[in-house]
Structures are given as structure tokens and as C-alpha cells.
Amino acid sequence: MKKLAISFVLLISLTTASFAENFFAHRFFEIKVDVPVNVSNNIIALSDILTETAIIDLPQIADNLKLVGASLKANAAPTVSINLDIPRGLILGFSVGAEADVGAGLSNDLFEFLGHGNVGMGNDFTMKASNTYADIFATAALKGGWNFKQSRFVVTGTAFSSLMHFDAGNSYARIYMNDEENEFGYEANLDAKLYTSATTDNLQDVNQILSAIKGNTGFDISGSYQRDLFRFLTVGASVRIPLVPSKLNTAYSVKTDPPIGGKFNLDTLLGKDSEEGSSTQGDTREEEENSGLDSEKDWLGEPQILSTPYAIHRPLKFGISADFHPFGTLLTTTGYLGLGFRHPFASAINQSTGGVDETQVYVDYSIGGRLSLWNILSLSLSHSYLDEIFKNEVALALNIRLIEVDAGISLQSPSFTKSFSGAGLGAFVTVCVGF
């Protein structure tokens, strides 16, 4: 009887230990692959077109874009990392990856004209590009820290190389009408700059790319701190501070100087006053031929090697967080609030080359909840606004210690309301292997 009782106690103890959260959930060592991708807009959603009768409501689109204009966002950030995380001990990790971030914006004038005509706009309006950029970075990061009894502290130093930076924020198109002379005119100015670490001819040469990456490395440092204030509440703070910018020494420039333009006499287009119309049309054709881009400088043109390279940082960020977990790992709610600065210090670090201010300031926030069964099977739901994108995400995680697979999908958009209707999609897959 005594042997049976001891055997029963041992069986219960082993079973309890097997399903304890740290047995399955916490790996001391792991190799991790993370692949997130996001694409979104605030103009039209899947719910608008995936119907029996698709209707493009131009007045409604114009009303939706009245305050912020049109916006397109896309980003991806694949990484591979090796991590060591010892309870009440050392945290150490190394990762390599890439970051691609693209944004395109247009003021609401065009959509206002298409949706409501020129009522209230007068006879002269201009459509401007806004927040139109593209950045590609290669990164390598080393992190170190320590797990204390009730807190956790991590510092990460990241070396990054900017492979490309594109900006077209000064481009515009203008349409105007002259009622007195019954004329219609247009004007377009393309002002875009592309900075690279190598000429486009060398982008197919791996050795040239690797050499360029080594020669334009920047550096930033980030830190995070979490502390258990109570058994049910954990608070934290995080920061990423740029230190040394990455520098791009090759530039391409596309600029219409003078702007492309032309004007037409409405009487001529309607067949009235043909003799005068012929003269006007001829003048217009001549004006169009003599304006805009020269044939020898079309599009990218010849690369310019800069005596003073263009400098660029990754975004500067500050944030605070709180995790509420009254039932342990069974149910956890999280919150985050922070500030982000895209292209920080752009005008100061490029003062010698014109000092264009490309800095964009935005608020970051997220709220979410996680339901977990012994940290083996987890379901997470979250709503966030990060890097100027509203995101509603659902994610599943299966973790059996030796291997973990997380996968999620999200509806998103630069517009809050559009983020619930499929104006953008995001997805991620994370795989961890370790012990």
C-alpha cells in the first residue's frame, strides 16, 4: 500500500511538472526566424469591391479623405536570431535581418475634384505628394541583459546599413481654369531624389553590395526594462536612440525644371474659332515640347557621387507598457503607448547638402489580450497603431519547448475606420527551435 501511495504521488508530481508553464514555454537557447509583411491603403477596401455589384462611390471616398488625403503603406522586416535567456541570469542574443518601409501620400484635392467637382475649390487647385518615401536597411544586432527576480533589463546595439532612400515629397500637380479667356491648363512638377549605397549598375554584383554595406554602417542603441510591481501587474519602458547615421554617397535626381505644363482653349476644343484655335494649339504643343525633362536626363539619369554623403537614421522611439495578468499566464492583457520619429534629425545631419526636413512624428499605441493554456497553445487578439498603421490582428501560437510556431493575420489601414474593412492585410510567421 505504501509503494502504491508513493507511486501515485510521484505520478502526480511528474504530471504537474510536465504541464508547468516553464517546462514547455521557456527555452534557455533558441534559433528564431521571424517574417512579417504588411500592405495597406486608406482609399478602398476589400469590402467595397468583393460584392455582387461593386460600387466605387467617389463622393464618399472624397469625404473619407477630406482631412488626411490618400495614403499607401507597406513594410517587411524578416530577421534570423540566436538567443540565450536564462531565468534569473544572463540574456544574450545576436540577429541579422532587413527592413523595408514604403509610404506614398497624396493630398485630397484630386479626390475632392473627382467626387464633388470644383464646387468650393475655385478654378485653381494643386495636388501635392506627402509623406512619400522608401527606405531599405540591412541590420545586425547584439543584445545583452539580465533576468532579475522581479525585473528584466535588456540593451541592444544595432549596426545598420541603408541600402536605399527615396523621397518625392516636393512633387505636385496643378490644374487651373481661366474663365475670362475660356482656357484650361495644367502643370506638373516631379521632384524626386534617390540615394543608394552603390550605383544601379552595381546592384547585381553581390561583392559590390557587401562592400557598400561595410562602408556606410550606422549605429543605434535601444533598451527595455520591465518590472513586476505586483503579482498581477508588470510595467515597462523602452527606447531606441540613433547615434551614428548610415551614409549614402550615390544620388539620382529627377526634377522637371521648368515644370511640365500646357493650356488649351476650350473654344478650340469645341471647334469654335478654328483659326485662333490652331494658333493656340500650336503654341501649346511648342510649350509642352520645351518643358519638362530633357531626353538626356529622363528618369534616373546619371548617378552623382556626392562629396558629402546623405545621412539617414532608423526611427527614434520612446514607449511605456503595462501587462495585467491576474490569472497568471491564463489570461493577459497588454497596453503600450509611445512616440516615433521617422528620419530623425534629417535637416541637421544633412545641413551641408540642403538640410531637407523629412522628419515625421507620430504616436504609437497598442492594446491586446492573450488566452493561454499552460503556455502551450495561445490565442492573441490586438488592436494597434504603430508606424502610422492601424492594425487589428489575431494570432495563434503552438509551443512545445523544442519548437514553437506563431502565425498571425491582420486587417489594417492608415485610416482607423478602413482598418476594420480590409483596406490592407498583414501576416507574420515566427518559428523558434531550441531547448
pTM of the model: 0.81
Q: What pLDDT is stored for residue 24 in this prediction?
A: 60
Closest CA relative to residue 178, chosen from 249, 224, 123, 253: 123
Closest CA relative to residue 149, chosen from 226, 93, 244, 61: 226
Q: What pLDDT is stored for residue 396 in this prediction?
A: 97
Q: What pLDDT is stored for residue 355 in this prediction?
A: 66
Closest CA relative to residue 430, chosen from 40, 95, 39, 86: 95
141: amino acid identity, one letter: A
Between CA 412 and CA 338 the distance in angstroms is 19
* Ordered per-residue pLDDT tens for the chain, 435 residues: 566 555 554 445 444 444 445 556 678 999 999 999 999 998 888 877 777 777 778 888 888 888 788 899 999 999 999 999 999 999 999 999 999 999 998 888 878 877 877 666 667 778 888 888 999 999 999 999 999 999 999 999 999 999 899 988 778 888 887 777 777 788 888 888 899 887 666 666 677 677 777 778 999 999 999 999 999 999 999 999 999 999 998 888 887 777 788 887 766 666 655 444 444 444 444 444 444 444 444 555 678 888 888 999 999 999 999 999 998 889 999 999 999 999 999 888 887 766 667 888 999 999 999 999 888 899 999 999 999 999 999 999 999 889 999 999 999 999 998 899 889 999 999 999 998
Q: What pLDDT is stored for residue 398 in this prediction?
A: 95
Cell matching residue 31: 534559433
166: amino acid identity, one letter: F
Residue pair 427/410 in contact by the 8 Å Cβ criterion: yes
β-bridge pairing 151-167 and 389-399: unpaired
Query: Which CATH class for the 33-257+292-434 domain?
Result: mainly beta
Q: What pLDDT is stored for residue 18 in this prediction?
A: 42
Q: Cell match 485662333: residue?
A: 276
Between CA 374 and CA 405 the distance in angstroms is 15
What is the biggest distance separating any 2 CA atoms in the chain, rounded to whole angstroms? 118
Cell matching residue 129: 505628394
